[in-house]
Amino acid sequence: MVDQQLLSHHNIPMKRLNRTAADVLSMLRDQEAPLSGEEMAGRLSLSRTAIWKAVASLRQEAFVIQGVHKAGYLLQEESPELSPAGIGSALSSFWKDLDVITYDQVTSTNSLAKERAGEGGSFLLAAGEQTLGRGRRGRGFFSPPESGIYFSLAFPWKREEAPVLLTTMAAVAAARVLDRTFGKEVAIKWVNDLFLDDRKIAGILTEAVTDLETGSAVFIVLGLGINIHPPAEGFPDGLKGIAGSLLDDQVPFSRNLLIARIVNELGRIMEELPARDYLEEYKRRCFILGREILLSTGQRVTARDISDEGALIAEGGEGLMELSSGEISLVEF
């Protein structure tokens, strides 16, 4: 469970997952006709009063639920707001123990997640806005309100695979969901950026909390920020011509369902480990392969392949090399 003292220390207003509300919402999503409170109470082994309270809490989170006389409840519209129940109700069984918390605004979901990483358990923090969103190598990630989705998924890591692979998994998971949801063809720039029409639309930041004695990763914080709509006031000068958004206008979508679908897709890929079939898709989407790139050292090389560990295999004057991290850019950019 979430450490209430930690969150109150930061004075951050938050919403926590109500499991009953999530279960009720999940059932209502599966029905095209009204579902009675009595039937839901029976399925969940709860009182009708508990169901009524759950419906009331969902309405407070802006879900439009109609009460039909002598018939029950009918979900008419998803909530446009970030909602723990909205996210939690759509998660797969792979994430059955995931705690979900949402905020209107935070400094950084990754920073907040890392602060409570030592408590164990798995959790997801999502925010409507980040005032100090973080990217790789200390860079900022522009995270204005009403523009994108920003969340961090945190969980213990007890696998043999290197945590860096999670970045490649998350990139493929997000690209798949964005393709299916919006009919786009999202590309990947090694190692952690998603692109559309030559503009960066998303960034991934994977951070590991390590055991001081063994030096091995024991906890992972995976942050993902996606620009869905153009910022109301445009991108800052430093990002113009570089950053873009998935959609050109304010097309309505459910942030809750989008987050849940990306997390579910990541879970499906993780379930297939140690198999790494998804890396073939990563390679197909990685638009730098076969092209000349510029390393942060100033060296020009040609990107050739992605290793089974997620490293970039490049060819330069001294032959093949593997890059496990670093900044690159296409020469023609």
The answer as to whether 206 is a domain residue is yes
Q: Which residues contact 328 (CB under 8 A, 6 or more apart)?
A: 189, 190, 288, 293, 294, 295, 296, 303, 312
- Per-residue pLDDT band at 175 (split at 50, 70, 90): very high
Same domain, 68 and 114: no
CATH at 73: 1.10.10.10
Lowest mean pLDDT across 44-53, 114-123, 160-169:
114-123
The answer as to whether 3 is a domain residue is no
Same domain, 118 and 41: no
Lowest mean pLDDT across 70-84, 187-201, 284-298, 318-332:
318-332
> pLDDT tens, 127-137?
988 876 665 55
Confidence check: pLDDT of 61 > 70: yes
CATH at 274: 3.30.930.10
Average pLDDT over residues 124-152: 76
CATH at 296: 2.30.30
Same domain, 273 and 305: no
The answer as to whether 179 is a domain residue is yes
> pLDDT tens, 200-248?
999 999 988 776 666 677 889 999 999 998 887 777 777 777 888 888 8
pLDDT at 141: 66
The answer as to whether 254 is a domain residue is yes
Same domain, 209 and 316: no
Same domain, 162 and 198: yes
Same domain, 173 and 321: no
Q: Which of 25, 46, 77 is the last residue of a domain?
A: 77
Confidence check: pLDDT of 20 > 60: yes
Which residue range is the domain that position 320 belongs to? 292-330
Same domain, 276 and 132: yes
pLDDT at 129: 84
Same domain, 217 and 152: yes
> pLDDT tens, 258-311?
999 999 999 999 999 999 999 999 999 999 999 999 887 888 999 999 999 999
Say how many domains are in the chain: 3
Same domain, 281 and 298: no
Same domain, 108 and 220: yes
Lowest mean pLDDT across 174-188, 192-206, 238-252:
238-252
Q: What is the mean pLDDT of the chain?
A: 87
The answer as to whether 261 is a domain residue is yes
pLDDT at 162: 83
The answer as to whether 45 is a domain residue is yes
